[in-house]
Amino acid sequence: DTAVSQTPKYLVTQMGNDKSIKCEQNLGHDTMYWYKQDSKKFLKIMFSYNNKELIINETVPNRFSPKSPDKAHLNLHINSLELGDSAVYFCASSQEWAVYGYTFGSGTRLTVV
């Protein structure tokens, strides 16, 4: 009965590959997010999405793209992976844009070799 679940938990891949990280929430939330946590633990917003609007952090390379098949899922696709993409990626969700209701998943550690 995990609230926000991400798969896989660990992902090791070679440079240039394309990979996806899946995220599902069973909280009935309307809004989902992707955050990137680098090696220094800094958390940075990548995308915010609800069924009406996608907001992209302008610093995110266009190799990253969110895909939402339905309200409970927001997957992250990454094309042409680079060494600098290595990080922990967190999915989160909230009711509408209510930040006080943020619930994070356990993260996906991506290592690009």
Partner 1 sequence: QQQVKQSPQSLIVQKGGISIINCAYENTAFDYFPWYQQFPGKGPALLIAIRPDVSEKKEGRFTISFNKSAKQFSLHIMDSQPGDSATYFCAATDQTGANNLFFGTGTRLTVIP
Residues that bind partner 1 (CB under 8 A): 4, 33, 40-45, 48, 53, 55, 57, 90, 92, 94, 97-100, 102, 104-107
For residue 111, the minimal CB distance to partner 1 (Å) is 15
DSSP 20-53: EEEEEE-S--SEEEEEEE-TT--EEEEEEEESS-
Closer residue to partner 1 (CB): 44 or 63: 44
Closer residue to partner 1 (CB): 90 or 112: 90
For residue 15, the minimal CB distance to partner 1 (Å) is 26
For residue 97, the minimal CB distance to partner 1 (Å) is 4
Q: What is the per-residue burial (b if ≥16 Cβ within 10 Å, else e) of 15-36? A: eeeebebebbbeeebbbbbbbb
